[in-house]
Chains A and B, each alone.
With several copies, the nearest count.
Chain A
Amino acid sequence: MAERTLTFVQAINEALHQAMERDPTVVVIGEDVAGGGGRAAQGIEDAWGGIMGATRGLIGRFGAARVIDTPISEAGFIGMAVGAAATGLRPVAELMFMDFLGVCLDPLLNQAAKLRYMFGGKARVPLVVRTLIGAGLRSAAQHSQSLHAFTTAIPGLKTVVPSNPHDAKGLLLAAIADDDPVVFCEPKTLYFTTGEVPAEPYTVPLGTAAVVRPGGAVTIWAVGRMVAVALAAAETLAAEGVEAEVVDVRSLSPLDEATLLASLARTGHLVVVDEAPPRCGLAADLAALAVDRGFDLLRGPVKRVTAPHAPVPFSPVLEDAYVPSPAQVVAAAHAALET
């Protein structure tokens, strides 16, 4: 088949179309996922299609019964989505920015994640919550957070973070088909990056990491937008004669420990790169995995590259200093190799 290039957001959009096409129980719920409040009469139904166009065209194709604009009531509509998931639908809810978890944690933490367990296995909650993460758009402290560790920490939820258009489509289709609640984090600065995306529906299974660059000297585990940062660092390192192996973690929960540790076994040195601040984050989680199950493989310290322990600043110079850079990853690789 001929190559076909889509942007990240087009890949998401295509996955939503295909999932809704194949399964009439899939519904899309969120603020302005159509836009204009579904005012078909005035011909302005699909005024927005999501703030960055991810849900564009859905209402025209599938109608207002399945593409549901909501009031600004995240706890209400995500809670509704949980209830709907437990009673026969497969809702895909859009939480515009993951920062807004602040106003709607309960339906995820205490309901979606726990219903099945609390009910002794009698419930299924096939819910997907799509949400934007990451800094870089000069949107300051309340619109730039990467809170994927919060949902990874919650037993009963699954969490994925695609790093490219191909995985975005495949992981989203897998998430929608999954019978458990999945938090699907979309790094917003990747939205208009492009990549090859097959036209037919396909899935990237949850619980699989991917080696995106082979190398024998040092392993770099990275997630989301940080995969590209790790790859850029690997280029610099290669120029120095240090071949880094880059692994895209991509499925945070379930975690593909085998692929991660196999890479560590090949290199013995490890850098973990994550866009969130350091405390109790994914980088710490993965470093802990390394030092527990992978201790015998380690020939040096595990170095983490993360955002600092601070809110995301607005000013471009500060924000640029905030987000982990290839240079920081290179330095960390040096430190990891130093022992």
Chain B
Amino acid sequence: MSLPRARLLDGYRTMRTIRAFEQTLNELSLAGRVPGFLHLCAGEEAVAAGVCAHLGPADAVASTHRGHGHAIAKGVDLDAMMAELFGRRDGICHGKGGSMHVADTEKGMLGANGIVGGGIPLAVGAALSAKVLRTGGVAVAFFGDGAANQGLFHESLNLAAVLALPVVFVLENNGYGEATPVEYHARVRDLAVRAAGYGMPGAVVDGMDFFAVHAAAGEAILRARRGEGPTLLECKTYRYFGHYVGDPLTYRPKDEAERMRAERDPLDLFERRVVAEGWLATGDLRRVDDEVAAAVAAAVRHAEASPPPDPADLMRDVYVDYPRPPES
């Protein structure tokens, strides 16, 4: 099943941007140029891109600690995002959030989230808003295989099913929660089977294949938009880097990531497909690559040029309105 050329290019651009962004950050972080810890999603690009291709600004996504890809796919400004990761004043959160809290509510990006499972009920809430306010919007909750063992997952899915809310639960199964393999932390092959416990459709998708994700997500989002309720979509995927930048990766076979990169890389798979089918030419893709490289480099320059926040803003935005905070 093909897509219009512009949509194909958009999908590819999203994936390439995520890849370039994450690779750049890996280097910057290892070089000590970015504060704090980073959870990178290189390898998982097809999920964010394939799902968010169906979403507009009236639709909401809630994300995870590994949230850069979702933010990029949801259209968050690259410069402002990079500045945020640097902790700068021009950051999308003015430096208050950092990598784990990148957010842009105007774009429907309800935030990365430092609490495993924490974003899931937020997406359900966005779906409730869409339903009550009849915006026609849908919500998507992204979360990992590890998060599927949190109580928040269970309660959120059942609640969404009971209230028939327009939300899609996208489980990014990358095989590990930190150092723990999914084969250890759950006794089922497919976590998607849990959907049946809520009377909700569940599906397993090849999360390395943009087209597979795009098709399955399209269907689920359409169901949601039609008022037919939620879906659980398990995307089998893989993270190339460690759990965080600096992870010694002692817990997975040395060649596992190399094999995935060589055989299942989502950008390669995409390229092979579109070229083989004659939908796009290699030159089209290389042009995107160049544009993306330039954009990411510009974002780094923008971030580095941005001043740090003013310490006087420490107490700003704790509340919308608060008569005199307590002295300390």
Does a CB–CB distance below 8 Å link A and B in the complex? yes
Q: Mark A221-259, 1 if CB is under 8 A from B, else 0.
A: 000000000000000000000000000000000110100
Chain A residues near B51 (CB, 8 Å)?
none
Chain A residues near B313 (CB, 8 Å)?
318
**Contact assessment for B328 and A143 in the assembled complex, using a CB-CB cutoff below 8 Å:** no
Chain A residues near B87 (CB, 8 Å)?
138, 314-318
CB of B235 within 8 A of chain A?
A: no
Chain B residues near A257 (CB, 8 Å)?
324, 326
**Contact assessment for A87 and B159 in the assembled complex, using a CB-CB cutoff below 8 Å:** no
Chain A residues near B96 (CB, 8 Å)?
117-120, 140-141, 311, 313-315, 318
Chain A residues near B120 (CB, 8 Å)?
79
Nearest chain A CB to B104's CB is how many angstroms away?
Answer: 7
CB of B268 within 8 A of chain A?
A: no
From B146, B152, B178, B314, A106 is in contact (CB under 8 Å) with: B152
Cα distance, A154 to B130, chains bound together (Å): 29
Cα distance, A196 to B304, chains bound together (Å): 42
CB of B162 within 8 A of chain A?
A: yes
Cα distance, A302 to B315, chains bound together (Å): 24
Chain B residues near A116 (CB, 8 Å)?
317-320
Which DSSP category, helix, strand, loop or mixed, fits chain B's interface?
Answer: loop
Chain A residues near B177 (CB, 8 Å)?
31, 71-72
Which DSSP category, helix, strand, loop or mixed, fits chain A's interface?
Answer: loop
CB of A186 within 8 A of chain B?
A: no
**Contact assessment for A71 and B155 in the assembled complex, using a CB-CB cutoff below 8 Å:** yes
Q: Decide yes or no: A309 and B116 within 8 Å by CB, A36-B250, A37-B180, A120-B91 being known contacts.
A: no
**Contact assessment for A84 and B158 in the assembled complex, using a CB-CB cutoff below 8 Å:** no
**Contact assessment for B180 and A121 in the assembled complex, using a CB-CB cutoff below 8 Å:** no
A99, A106, A119, A309: residue with the most chain B Cβ atoms closer than 10 Å = A119
Smallest CB gap from B161: residue in A: A71
Nearest chain A CB to B184's CB is how many angstroms away?
Answer: 3
Nearest chain A CB to B323's CB is how many angstroms away?
Answer: 4
**Contact assessment for B97 and A84 in the assembled complex, using a CB-CB cutoff below 8 Å:** no
**Contact assessment for A120 and B251 in the assembled complex, using a CB-CB cutoff below 8 Å:** no
Smallest CB gap from B125: residue in A: A83
CB of A111 within 8 A of chain B?
A: yes
CB of A14 within 8 A of chain B?
A: no
The stretch from A61-69, A159-167, A261-269 touching chain B is A61-69
**Contact assessment for B309 and A317 in the assembled complex, using a CB-CB cutoff below 8 Å:** yes
The stretch from B2-10, B106-114, B272-280, B293-301 touching chain A is B106-114
Seed contacts A119-B103, A255-B326, A316-B87; 5 additional CB < 8 Å A-B pairs: A118-B97, A142-B100, A180-B319, A314-B97, A315-B309
> Which residues on B are within 8 Å of A, measured CB to CB?
35-37, 60, 62, 87-88, 91-98, 100-101, 103-106, 110-111, 113-118, 120-126, 128-133, 135, 139, 146-147, 149-152, 154-156, 158-159, 162-163, 177-181, 183-186, 250-253, 308-309, 311, 313-328
